[in-house]
C-alpha cells in the first residue's frame, strides 16, 4: 500500500479487485491470509472518505472491503469443510461455492483463461493453498 496523506488516497495494490473474483497470486508469494491481512490493515488506516485505488478495478471506499473480505472468508471456510470431507479439488470446484455471489460479482463468471471462470479459478486457488499444494 502507498498512502498519500494530503490527498486522502491509498494505492492498495493487487490484494483487492472489484472485477471478477479475488486472485491469489501464489506464484509470486501471494496468500489467502495475506489478502485478508491487507483488508484488515486497510480498514485500520483508511478513513471513511479515503479513496482506495486497487491495482485492478474501479476506485473504492473502505466500506467496499467488508463484503470482499466476507466473500474470501466464506469461500475459505466452505473449501476447508469440503477438504475435511475428503473432497478433491475437482469436486470442490464443481460444488459452485461462489453461487450466492455470482450475480453481483462483475466478471465473476467470465473466462479467466484455459476455459475456467474467475469463480472456478478462485476456488481452485483457495483449495490449493489450504491443501498446501505446490505453487
Mapped to the 3 state alphabet, what secondary structure does 75-134 carry? HHHHHHHHHHCCCCHHHHHHCCCCHHHHCCCCCCCCEEECCEEHHHHHHHHHHHHHHCCC
Instruction: State what percent of residues in the chain have pLDDT above 70.
Output: 90
70-113 residue pLDDT tens: 999 999 999 999 999 999 999 999 999 999 988 887 766 655 55
45-63 residue pLDDT tens: 999 999 999 988 889 999 9
Average pLDDT for 120-124: 92
Amino acid at each position: 500500500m502507498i498512502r498519500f496523506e494530503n490527498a486522502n488516497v491509498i494505492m492498495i495494490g493487487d490484494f483487492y479487485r472489484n472485477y471478477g473474483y479475488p486472485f491469489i497470486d501464489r506464484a509470486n508469494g501471494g496468500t489467502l491470509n495475506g489478502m485478508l491481512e491487507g483488508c484488515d490493515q486497510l480498514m485500520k488506516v483508511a478513513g471513511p472518505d479515503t479513496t482506495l485505488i486497487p491495482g485492478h478495478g474501479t476506485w473504492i471506499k473502505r466500506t467496499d472491503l467488508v463484503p470482499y473480505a466476507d466473500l474470501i472468508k466464506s469461500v475459505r471456510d466452505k473449501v476447508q469443510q469440503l477438504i475435511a470431507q475428503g473432497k478433491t479439488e475437482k469436486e470442490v470446484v464443481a460444488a459452485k461455492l461462489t453461487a450466492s455471489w455470482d450475480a453481483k460479482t462483475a466478471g465473476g463468471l467470465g473466462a479467466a483463461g484455459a476455459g475456467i471462470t474467475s469463480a472456478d479459478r478462485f476456488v481452485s486457488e483457495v483449495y490449493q493453498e489450504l491443501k498446501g499444494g505446490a505453487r
